[in-house]
Homo-oligomer: A and B are copies of this chain.
């Protein structure tokens, strides 16, 4: 139903200007907003688009096990929808395991994908039936061996994140030679040394980036094989994009590069594949509706300041460093545009969304008007503060575009 190139291949026009949804069919999210007029700010998710994205990826990588990265959007309805489609789940904490199980996921569909785990949280996951764990350190591996005996483990390697809008730095992963040591040690500890994972950085705009990870995985496979340990799985991580203001390649480009890299590195010995999409599944399926609180002429006489009732602390955490630049839609689209600085509602000087990035909005915009942030379904609501400055967390509503009357 959704054409990926249309939703993630975004706009040649000046960055940040409002963009109309070009669709003949009524937009179920707009219909919901028009009918319900919910308090703003709020996030509205279209479950039909979530399903559609999952199926696109299922078709494009038919032999990969798709582990939805729950952290991207832990709305129970979204998780439940993906359980129904047969997805697996990449979880970061006991809280996310509980959520998946509560929505009907089988324990064997869960991958405990956080390298940073308390020993008792590993034990708890094991008791709940989870048998797949990532690791990247000796201390964590020992914990897994002791409290989750016999489990499958994969080791995360550290790879170049060039091309990512939100790179990971050095927090996760280890060099291939250390990964191989850990996996060989895993076998000695009677764990199932299963494979290698990597993450080339979220919102990765260069499909060729996966080569860094796949070739590193091959090195680990070879090193282990030379010591009699046969690894079987490559976890391609996350990184597939959603549609923000900058153009992103279509899914087909990513898949082609991944397949080429797998051929080059593994040839006929193609490993089992696992992939951890989050943003790709839910990003474009959500619209964040906000209200203009105030428009103020700036003291520098150039750009107006537009203050929204949504900001960095109640949902737009990914505007930190202006890393993610959402497309906007307003109730005054069509009116003449002028340059603006966009800011959130708190008494916090860092609660500014876009100051360096050039955004233009209708000059007629004023307090009480609405501004929609498009493709805001990933990494928004769950980042909300519990109440910084007394502003309440961002609520999420779900609609289903396939169930329209």
Determine whether the beta carbon of A349 is less than 8 Å from that of B139: no
For A116, the closest partner residue in chain B by CB is: B307
Q: Could you say which of B169, B348, B350, B368 contacts A349, with CB atoms under 8 Å apart?
A: B169
Instruction: State the CA gap A172–B143 with chains docked (Å).
Output: 50
Provide the A356-381 mask, 1 if CB < 8 A to any CB of B, else 0. 00000000001110000000000001
Q: Could you say which of B201, B309, B389 contacts A96, with CB atoms under 8 Å apart?
A: B389
For A368, the closest partner residue in chain B by CB is: B119
Q: How large is the interface on A (under 10, 10 to 19, 20 to 34, 35 or more residues)?
A: 35 or more
In the complex, whether A166 has a CB less than 8 A from a CB of chain B is yes
For residue A313, which residues in chain B have a CB less than 8 angstroms away from its CB?
A: 317, 383
Determine whether the beta carbon of A178 is less than 8 Å from that of B388: no
In the complex, whether A118 has a CB less than 8 A from a CB of chain B is yes
Determine whether the beta carbon of B140 is less than 8 Å from that of A294: yes
A363 CB to nearest chain B CB (Å)? 14
For residue A336, which residues in chain B have a CB less than 8 angstroms away from its CB?
A: none
For A140, the closest partner residue in chain B by CB is: B294
Best-buried of A91, A98, A345, A390 by chain B (most CB within 10 Å):
A390
CB-contacts of A313-356 with B (<8 A):
313, 317, 320, 343, 345-352, 355
Q: Could you say which of B137, B368, B391 contacts A296, with CB atoms under 8 Å apart?
A: B137
Instruction: State the CA gap A140–B350 with chains docked (Å).
Output: 21
Determine whether the beta carbon of A390 is less than 8 Å from that of B94: yes
Determine whether the beta carbon of A74 is less than 8 Å from that of B139: no
For residue A384, which residues in chain B have a CB less than 8 angstroms away from its CB?
A: 385-386
A316 CB to nearest chain B CB (Å)? 12
For A295, the closest partner residue in chain B by CB is: B139
Q: Could you say which of B71, B175, B291 contacts A347, with CB atoms under 8 Å apart?
A: B71
For A202, the closest partner residue in chain B by CB is: B349
Determine whether the beta carbon of B392 is less than 8 Å from that of A388: no
For A389, the closest partner residue in chain B by CB is: B92
CB-contacts of A284-303 with B (<8 A):
291, 293-300
CB-contacts of A141-196 with B (<8 A):
143, 158, 166-175, 178
Answer whether A352 and B171 are a contact pair too, CB < 8 Å, given A347-B113, A385-B385, A390-B74: yes
Determine whether the beta carbon of B114 is less than 8 Å from that of A367: no
| Residues on A facing B (Cβ under 8 Å) | 70-71, 74, 91-99, 113-119, 136-140, 143, 158, 166-175, 178, 201, 291, 293-300, 305, 307, 309, 313, 317, 320, 343, 345-352, 355, 366-368, 381-393
Additional 11 contacts, C-beta under 8 A, given A95-B390, A382-B387: A74-B387, A92-B391, A114-B347, A116-B307, A116-B345, A137-B294, A137-B297, A139-B294, A167-B349, A171-B343, A201-B349
Listed by A's residue number, 8 A-B pairs whose Cβ atoms lie within 8 Å are A71-B347, A113-B347, A117-B293, A117-B294, A166-B350, A169-B350, A382-B385, A384-B386
